[in-house]
């Protein structure tokens, strides 16, 4: 399908994805001159350029500092909402500051689903089955452990 689209439409799509991923200012840089965060967003952008309905991202912020992790996850959230797309991400150690960007979460333990549902109901669910999250804990990590 990508080959059948005209070059002006392809160019517009590339510019839009660069803007959505906050990469417009580095569009003319060589890949080896990008920061880790810019490189990660570029790799994601290569997939988004085809405008998939569902995107599966394994550890999209792996190796990034907290600020850039927040930035990448917020960009993915904005993209999903703006284009009505589904972003499925895996994170081994999710930070609490990304919780507002997650609509749903699934927890697996030894291959079985322990919880799947709204992040808003997650804490209440675990409390109702006898596993309340301590007040100052990151609920995403607490329930992972």
Global pTM value: 0.82
What is the maximum span of the chain, computed from C-alpha positions, in angstroms? 58
- Tell me how far apart the alpha carbons of residues 95 and 85 are, in angstroms, rounded to a whole number: 23
Angle at 99 between CA 126 and CA 94, to 5 degrees: 85
The pLDDT, as a whole number, for residue 5 is 65
The angle that helices 66-83 and 36-48 make with each other, rounded to 10 degrees, is 20
Asked if 101 and 73 touch (Cβ cutoff 8 Å), the reply is yes
pLDDT at 78: 94
pLDDT for 79: 95
Q: Are 67 and 22 in contact (CB under 8 A)?
A: no
Tens-of-pLDDT digits for all 145 residues of the chain? Answer: 555 567 788 889 999 999 999 999 999 999 999 999 999 999 999 999 999 999 999 999 999 999 999 999 999 999 999 999 999 999 888 888 998 899 999 988 888 898 999 988 999 999 999 999 998 888 888 888 7
- Is residue 72 within 8 A of residue 101, CB to CB? The reply is no
The ranges assigned to domains in the chain are 2-93, 103-145
Q: Which CATH superfamily is domain 2-93 in?
A: P-loop containing nucleotide triphosphate hydrolases (3.40.50.300)
CB 36 within 8 A of CB 64: yes
Residue 109: per-residue pLDDT: 81
C-beta of residue 134 within 8 angstroms of C-beta of residue 142: yes
pLDDT of residue 83: 95
């Amino acid at each position: 399908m990508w080959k059948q689209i005209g070059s002006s439409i392809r160019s517009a799509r590339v510019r839009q994805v660069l803007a959505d991923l906050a990469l417009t200012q580095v569009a003319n840089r060589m890949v080896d001159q990008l920061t880790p965060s810019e490189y990660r967003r570029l790799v994601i952008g290569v997939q988004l350029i085809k405008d998939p309905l569902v995107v599966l991202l394994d550890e999209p912020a792996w190796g990034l500092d907290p600020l850039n992790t927040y930035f990448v996850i917020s960009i993915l959230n904005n993209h999903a909402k703006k284009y009505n797309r589904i972003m499925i991400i895996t994170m081994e150690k999710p930070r609490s500051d990304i919780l507002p960007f997650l609509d749903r979460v699934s927890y697996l333990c030894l291959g079985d689903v322990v919880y799947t549902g709204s992040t808003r109901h997650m804490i209440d669910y675990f409390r109702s089955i006898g596993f309340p999250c301590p007040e100052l804990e990151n609920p995403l990590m607490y329930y992972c452990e």
